Chain A
């Protein structure tokens, strides 16, 4: 049923993408584009910096089954969220510490989102960006409601939906940070090294789509219902594993396509994605091992025959939670690359002459790449 969460996330992200795409094209026709206010961009960055830890803490809440440590909502044991005695919170049980901490951090994210909307209203000249920030606020409220309903109803399915919606919100924050950055306008009228065709855009769109599907599948395994059938569980595990390697392959292909595009803001995160997915696969294996022991396919690993699973071990819970958090990071980075690529497609004035591209291809040293990039990153405003 977390597919519903998936649909909700798609709705939000899809609407945001529509807004971005529609305005990306029209914006490229403008001769001048006022830069987004610095404050707006900084608030977006702050949001990104807060949401990732929020996902970590939320992941820990699930890992420790602490979601019901505070049975009421929106208050905490009858107190206003912000007025709950901090000594009881900090010195109380670990479950209470992380659950109340998760709520506090979530509330801070909500406040920053409100500030973002206000600052965008006054400082942001692009109306669609203001609408986007408004969308962020709606998303954070929805996420809070989902979390609250999960507690009030004591429902694990809603916990799964809450867990699936969080990464989508994080990716949306990252995308908004990109859109409000100064660099966003530097693409206008610039010449690119590669031609950004629809195929390339589709390839880069497939990465966030696949990584989000992976998040949903992972949530199904993490919040598995007690009466789920072994067959369904096995099918989800198999799909999750196969798609992980498919995703890794896609990130490699995508990076090969743009590694010499001359734009470090594209090639570097694309390269980073390969590493992140590799780390994520390793964390996925680790997550399985600390939950169910070494699978028979990896029985050759020294020490696996005598490996002892330890329930609720701290280092084990960090591995599991890292797997959750890295999944969100992959989603956010892939959305950032994709959004930038879309921007390049809509704003850059085609490619430079092929000979120059070939010369660059011949010279793959990072030093030279850096030089080339410096020149290409010079803003060329038409």
Chain B
């Protein structure tokens, strides 16, 4: 009798997996907004969670709301079902619950980048909810294309915890890409709706009038504001391909021409226009001290007037799930490792667009040398110098 009773007690004690019924609300943003607007965001945050769940569903049952403004489908709902929910597999070897299988330990269920293993990553895993991505082929302020995200999943990011998923089936990669877009869209809508509730719909310490209450139906003013925001974010994703940065052909040089080009590139590297040496250091080894932060960190620190080093000020944000602020260091260009790819086209885009979400600025492309930007030829000189730096060690 002892063992069966022990097993029963054991089962009661063990229970099952902790249930995941909803996405956690973005409390860090809510707190930052409360600080920035000097008002309570509790009600706005509460109603936002309700509306966003109506629109986008739960971690186990995601939904994709209709958005007439988006002229083409942004995600395939079948992919969302494959990537969401608990990990399982079918008889033919097809895996479901792909996001929890491959991504959740670092990126967290909501795509907040604060997953269980996030504190050990440097840089921290990406918070998708800002809708900002570093490594892409589009203009700085635009969304990445699905192809960009797929390429990132396939290639991984060397020198970081972001793996290459090249061994996954193509359908699995498609499902993951769509789910990342879903989480990013859902998270960005959540942020925008919370902000709109405070700024446009009179949310504060008390709830606004019924007409202004946030709603997932577009028949009230509150509902229309939500629909507009959903449309805007969906449209941004649907139009991403239109904003791909065209890369001019890269002239292959050799011999003296190459040496001369690299020498010119070195001048631009140290010159006033590009001034790469100002951050990456004269030797390009990223050794200069830095006090700057990325946009994801600034969101709850410097932008709302808080010092990231102030532990007391950071306490409520840390409690709400924010990771400890870390300064962003310019990369060394000498080890041959480029997180976003070291090919000439990627470097061209990085120089002309900068890196979204980071202090890395863009260099203006000009038709003729004018001291304010660089011509295409000059940018290629700079690219050759950077590539030469990376192989010189």
Contact = CB atoms under 8 A, between A and B. Distances in A.
Chains A and B come from one and the same complex: yes
Of the listed residues A161, A226, A233, the one surrounded by the most CB atoms of chain B closer than 10 A to its CB is A226
A292 B164 contact: no
A70 B20 CA distance: 23
Contacts of B122: 296
B328 interface: no
A69 B120 contact: no
Contacts of A230: 114-119, 323
Interface stretch (B3-11, B141-149, B214-222, B347-355): B3-11
A304 B337 CA distance: 10
B336 interface: yes
Contact of A313 (B13, B106, B167): B167
B16 A157 contact: yes
Say which size band chain B's interface belongs to. Answer: 35 or more
Contacts of B273: none
B165 A229 contact: no
B93 A157 contact: no
Of the listed residues A224, A229, A230, A304, the one surrounded by the most CB atoms of chain B closer than 10 A to its CB is A230
A93 B91 CA distance: 8
Nearest to B91: A77
Interface string B106-133: 1011000011111111100000000000
B105 interface: yes
Contacts of A304: 159
B109 A96 contact: no
A95 interface: yes
Interface residues of A, number: 55
A233 B115 CA distance: 9
Interface in A278-333: 291-293, 295-296, 304-313
A68 B88 contact: yes
A4 B88 contact: no
Given A69-B93, A233-B116, A310 B101 contact: no
B99 to A, nearest CB: 9
Contacts of B18: 225, 227
B17 A308 contact: no
A8 interface: yes
B10 A4 contact: yes
Interface string B152-188: 0000111111111111100000000000000000000
Contacts of A229: 116
Contact of B89 (A69, A153, A158, A310): A69
Interface in B1-55: 3, 6-7, 10, 13-18, 20, 24
Of the listed residues A93, A224, A304, A311, the one surrounded by the most CB atoms of chain B closer than 10 A to its CB is A311
12 contacts: A8-B10, A11-B6, A155-B16, A156-B86, A226-B104, A227-B24, A227-B109, A229-B116, A233-B119, A292-B121, A306-B335, A307-B159
Given A226-B108, A292-B161, A313-B167, 8 more contacts: A1-B13, A93-B92, A155-B17, A157-B14, A225-B17, A304-B159, A311-B168, A312-B167
Interface of B: 3, 6-7, 10, 13-18, 20, 24, 59, 86-89, 91-93, 95, 100-102, 104-106, 108-109, 114-122, 156-168, 323, 335-337
The 5 closest A-B pairs by CB, nearest first: A93-B93, A233-B116, A309-B163, A68-B88, A306-B337
Interface of A: 1, 4-5, 7-8, 11, 65-69, 71, 77, 92-96, 138, 142, 145, 153-158, 161, 224-234, 237, 291-293, 295-296, 304-313
